[in-house]
Chain A
């Protein structure tokens, strides 16, 4: 560190020296990038599999009645994105829910903002536009507070099942119960369900 004290030190503009610095740094970056490429090659498969498994588990849990569920992915249109956006949520994927080839509803993977970051969740909506279930895929809510909403304490997630667009916009305090102390997380989940219902409304 003592070498750094002399702040007025003359900058060495010798082209040879500058080239050495650049080349050294460049070579290091190339080596590191190559090593990362190798690691990525090994891990890309398992990571994709783990994510898919997580999403599939969430999808299955919102359509529990289905005996042979399948979830072909649909294209997310601009209308769907706009519908979700009107509740400050982002729609990630939309899936058709099929039971033995029969269309029984849709599942919307949607991202809402919680108190500590985004809450990623899957909302199942049946053919009549009624919510069949809500499952949290990923969240960063405070352990012991917001996490109580994520863990479905007092059935706070189950209360959304049976709600539909006919109930109007779901609002914490009027037609949705929050977990006390975790209002922001409860509101986040509620916004996600509102967004998903709006997306399902676009699908028809």
Chain B
């Protein structure tokens, strides 16, 4: 088990969103304010880690033919738990994320990691993988939220201090491009981030080639 390597993979070289290009729907849909991104990221992190651990623990007794069905049942169980807990104890976050919490069931990051990692690796490694991939996902969401909220609404940290709290106005209200808080803005920001990531990852290779 190599925590450092797995952490680097989750956050950068094998980032679930920017490199594996998984979980696009939620990434674009909910990254409109800081609190949304944080709430969704942490929810996915918890569900991913929990389902990773359980799936890798039962991987030897799961018949190959029905493994996807088993994975989905386990994942759906955890998602429903988190959904109920959010509604009960953090209703503000549950309200602003709405249907995207139940939709984590079909978030391909979780099934993708179950199939490509946990089914082949031990419980410890899967636990670390869940945390690292979850942090990678959360980090991308936060970056997208900050960019979209700042350029789209001109604020920072809306909803951070309370359910209806306004963010700090950084750009005067008449300048921001409201388009960025719409789905089209999500595509644009995500495309720019993926492009930047690919450029950054390809850079050392290009340098070597040019030598």
Contact = CB atoms under 8 A, between A and B. Distances in A.
A54 B92 CA distance: 11
A32 B73 contact: yes
A46 interface: yes
A39 interface: yes
Given A21-B63, A144-B152, A28 B70 contact: yes
B182 A39 contact: no
B14 interface: no
Contact of A28 (B64, B65, B73, B80): B73
Nearest to A45: B88
Task: Find the residue from A3, A47, A142 having the highest chain B CB count within 10 A.
Answer: A47
A138 B152 CA distance: 23
SS class, residues of chain B in contact with chain A: helix
Contacts of B70: 24-25, 28
A39 B81 contact: yes
Interface string B41-65: 0000000000000000000011111
Contacts, number: 68
A177 B64 CA distance: 61
Contacts of B73: 25, 28-29, 32
Interface range on chain B (Cβ under 8 Å from partner): 20 to 34
B89 A21 contact: no
Interface string A34-76: 0110011011011100100010000000000000000000000
Q: Interface size for chain A: under 10, 10 to 19, 20 to 34, or 35 or more residues? A: 20 to 34
B84 A142 contact: no
Interface in A89-137: 117
A142 B65 CA distance: 42
Contacts of A145: 178, 182
B52 to A, nearest CB: 16
A50 B69 contact: no
A20 B63 contact: yes
Nearest to B91: A50
A22 B44 CA distance: 29
Given A24-B62, A24-B66, A25-B69, A143 B87 contact: no
